[in-house]
Amino acid sequence: MLNGQEITVLGAGIAGLAVATALAQRGAQVRVLEQADAIREVGAGLQVTPNGVAVLRALGLEGALQAAAPLARAVQLRDFRRGDPVFRLDLTRPDRPYHLTHRADLINILRQGASEAGARIELGQHVTGVDPEAGQMQVNGHTETAPLIIGAGGLHSPTRAALNPGGQPFFTGQVAWRSTIPWDDPTTPPEATVHMGPGRHLVTYPLRGGALLNVVAVEERDAWAAEGWHHRDDPQAPWRAFVDFCPEVRDILYRAEEVFLWGLFRHPVARNWGQGRAVILGDAAHPTLPFLAQGANMALEDAWVLAECLDTHATTEAAFAAYQARRRPRAARVIDAASRNARNYHLHPGPTRAAAHLALKLGTRLAPGLAARQFEWLYGHDVTRH
């Protein structure tokens, strides 16, 4: 059905480039509109978990990922005060590859994949409004029409707003600092480490062979902070917030020269993912908090399923319905699991925290395979084999 179909994708992020690649490989004529005047090296680290790798493999891009990003060995949880190990999740299963990568490297892989498949990427295209029924877009102040519009513009996608008016987000009472620190230490193990403390946690892992260290520090607070991760903050602010953490954490934060602060907001999962000539995916459909490392992976899954549904259903209406039916329950489950992680990371000293940490330690020691099985619903899910 997609052979020769004209499709316009709004946004050249992970979701947009992935769906452009998947659609173009199936024969569609894809145009990607990106408001930035260049696709720059922005953002920081992200984790491509096995469910996301499965999509890249199906798109023929796993080799490029392997060349750009090392396989992760483990995710480990540590106590905040002394850095003592609490839990370790082994990630070395050959059939469950898990990569630590820079967002810019994944974007470059997807951009090359999209271009090689025949998608056309146009920069400097600012879309301010979408009319789903008419298939119209306001682009750089003038109206354009497209047979099919895919909104991949993230939280503030005009396509999401057109399909789901209203639905205000709420501040979670948490903020996060993001930074990449020059590290130059190839001996740093390819592991993601979470230091858990009362009302706070810190995630670190190496990027680009240890040349950089990715840092995300989350703090509970009453004071509201702006949404979006492009707001610069005082580099010493996270150091002060984590001053009672172990020396390793304080040293990492002290070395941060540039940090970005963003407020964490809960957005409802979109009620309507597709209508008329427009459909959404990724954060535009289901924004998630960054506590399960699934934002990019859910976007990859969405991209494959949406392309498959458009290719195998006779009408866009049927394709949209099938796509939402397959993706919405999974997205809701992932979002719920991410929210639970935030609570578990931030337990305050007391009986509940002591019992939770003891259970994690015993599980790691006595039944290391059990932890991996608990994540099978997430990492073992392969949308390309539906």
- CA atoms of 28 and 7, how far apart (whole Å): 7
- CA atoms of 90 and 340, how far apart (whole Å): 21
Query: CB 65: neighbour CB atoms within 10 A?
Result: 21
Residue among 205, 323, 345, 379 flagged as catalytic: 205
Query: CB 180: neighbour CB atoms within 10 A?
Result: 22
Q: Are 35 and 46 in contact (CB under 8 A)?
A: no
Q: Which residues of 148-165 are buried (b: 16+ CB within 10 A; e: fewer)?
A: bbbbbbbeebbbbbbbbe
Active site residue 205: yes
Q: What is the DSSP string of 176-201?
A: EEEEEEE---TTS-SEEEEEEETTEE
For 140, the token pair is: 């750089």
H or E element at residue 319: helix 316-345
Q: Which residues of 118-142 are buried (b: 16+ CB within 10 A; e: fewer)?
A: ebebeeebebeebbbeebbbebeee
Radius of gyration for the chain, computed over Cα atoms and rounded to the nearest angstrom: 21
113 - beta bridge partners?
none
Catalytic residue numbers?
205
